[in-house]
């Protein structure tokens, strides 16, 4: 190898020198591994000279000790050193959240609330009990009515005629009773007359009996004639027959009174029947005028003048002004709930106002137990579901706002004072 070649081997390019200076002195050099001997002339001629950038990429990456020293210790302690104000704020928020959670729990455990609650009432379906044409409608939609107010009228002429006919039947039946009473009075007079005749016949019979006894004794003694004795016997038999006839007439007269009394009972029954028909006719006549049975508001008005009303057909609904709340609480919320506990009632339609109320009663069973198709838990696979139980909540006083069934409310029951 020539001296020029050795000079080239020891010489270092400017780019390599710059790269060596940028490399930290503390970085360990890679361990040199023995390589097989190669022809330096051939390698120098065939292998291209490396570029400065390639030399930098070929070297292993060294940890940046300066950068790590700038960041300092890690974790919460380091965060406190770098951002003490922000970390204090975060710590304060966490403590405040824990305190708020504890306070909320201690406060919320005194109350039970649900949004599955609605205004409830018992609407009155106004339906006629008699058929006929509607002649007048005295109310309009959503009108407030008082108990006893006239709502509508049905044509009363047929029912007035029926009432008059029933009244005439009453008079006829009462006249029949009076006629029978007169017959009974006359028959009693006949009975009295028959009694007199019986008394007279008994006296005549007694005299004839005595006469017959006397003349029979005289004949036996020879002091009287046989003819006179026979005449006395004949007269005795006639008087006896007259007495029996008078007695029979008396019995017949008395039996006739019993017959008349029976007829009177039948006539009195006819009077009662006629009076019942009159009462029914009067009731039907009164039913032609439909009146409000409760204080409330008229809804779903379908009645119209000239329309034919049929019994049982609803022509309007009166929603009572007295309403309450039906709240469907979960069964797990009823442990501390008792009748009489105070309730704050918030109605969605009037969200800014609360109305005071009280727990009135708790239904004896869940809502599904009384549904049209109750659950059959004994069939199929059973999955436990928390049931809801209706709770009736009444207002302490009637609200001064218009409420109707179905309006959503949110009641809050104070279960622990």
User: The domain at 124-156+289-317 falls in which architecture?
Assistant: Beta Barrel (2.40)
The pLDDT score that the predictor gives to residue 81 is 76
Question: Does the pLDDT at position 216 exceed 80?
Answer: no
The pLDDT score that the predictor gives to residue 123 is 94
Residue with the larger pLDDT of the pair 59 and 388 = 388
CA 323 to chain centre: 12
Question: Does the pLDDT at position 80 exceed 80?
Answer: no
Question: Does the pLDDT at position 226 exceed 90?
Answer: no
Residue with the larger pLDDT of the pair 7 and 161 = 161
Looking at the chain, the whole-number percentage of residues with pLDDT higher than 70 is 79
In this predicted model, what pLDDT tens digit does every residue of 16-42 receive, in sequence order? 444 444 444 444 454 444 444 444 444
The CATH fold of domain 114-121+322-414: Elongation Factor Tu (Ef-tu); domain 3 (2.40.30)
Residue with the larger pLDDT of the pair 54 and 195 = 195
Instruction: Give which of 210, 219, 268, 280 is closest to 240, Cα–Cα.
Output: 210
Q: Averaged over 42-58, what is the pLDDT?
A: 46
Q: Averaged over 113-118, what is the pLDDT?
A: 94
Q: Is residue 72 very low, low, confident or very high in pLDDT (cuts 50, 70, 90)?
A: very low
Mean pLDDT (the chain, rounded): 80
> Does the model's pTM come out above 0.75?
no
């Amino acid at each position: 190898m020539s001296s020029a070649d050795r000079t080239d081997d020891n010489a270092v390019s400017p780019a390599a020198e710059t790269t060596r200076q940028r490399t930290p002195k503390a970085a360990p050099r890679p361990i040199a591994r023995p390589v097989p001997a190669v022809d330096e002339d051939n390698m120098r001629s065939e292998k291209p000279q490396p570029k400065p950038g390639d030399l930098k990429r070929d070297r292993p990456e060294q940890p940046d000790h300066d950068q790590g020293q700038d960041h300092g210790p890690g974790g919460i302690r380091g965060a406190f050193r770098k951002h003490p104000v922000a970390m204090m704020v975060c710590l304060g928020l966490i403590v405040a959240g824990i305190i708020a959670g504890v306070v909320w729990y201690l406060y919320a455990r005194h109350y039970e609330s649900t949004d599955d609650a609605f205004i409830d009432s018992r609407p009155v379906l106004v339906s006629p009990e008699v058929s006929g044409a509607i002649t007048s409608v005295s109310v309009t939609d959503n009108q407030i009515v008082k108990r006893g107010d006239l709502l509508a009228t049905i044509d009363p002429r047929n029912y007035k005629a029926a009432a008059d006919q029933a009244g005439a039947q009453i008079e006829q039946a009462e006249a029949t009773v009076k006629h029978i009473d007169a017959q009974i009075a006359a028959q009693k007079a006949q009975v009295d007359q028959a009694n007199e005749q019986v008394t007279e016949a008994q006296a005549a019979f007694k005299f004839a009996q005595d006469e017959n006894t006397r003349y029979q004794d005289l004949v036996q003694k020879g002091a009287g004639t046989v003819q006179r004795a026979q005449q006395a016997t004949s007269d005795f038999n006639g008087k006896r027959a007259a007495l029996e006839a008078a007695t029979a007439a008396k019995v017949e007269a008395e039996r006739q009174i019993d017959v008349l009394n029976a007829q009177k009972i039948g006539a009195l029954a006819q009077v009662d029947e006629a009076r019942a028909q009159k009462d029914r006719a009067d009731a039907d006549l009164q039913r032609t005028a439909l009146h409000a049975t409760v204080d409330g508001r008229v809804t779903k008005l379908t009645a119209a003048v000239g329309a034919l009303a049929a019994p049982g057909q609803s022509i309007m609904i009166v929603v009572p002004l007295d309403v309450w709340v039906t709240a469907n609480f979960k069964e797990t919320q009823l442990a501390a709930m008792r009748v009489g506990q105070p309730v704050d009632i918030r109605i969605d339609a009037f969200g800014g106002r609360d109305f005071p109320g009280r727990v009135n009663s708790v239904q004896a069973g869940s809502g599904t137990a009384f549904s049209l198709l109750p659950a059959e838990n004994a069939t199929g696979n059973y999955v436990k579901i928390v049931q809801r139980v209706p709770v009736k909540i009444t207002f302490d006083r009637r609200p001064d706002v218009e409420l109707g069934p179905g309006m959503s409310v949110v009641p809050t029951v104070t279960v622990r004072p």
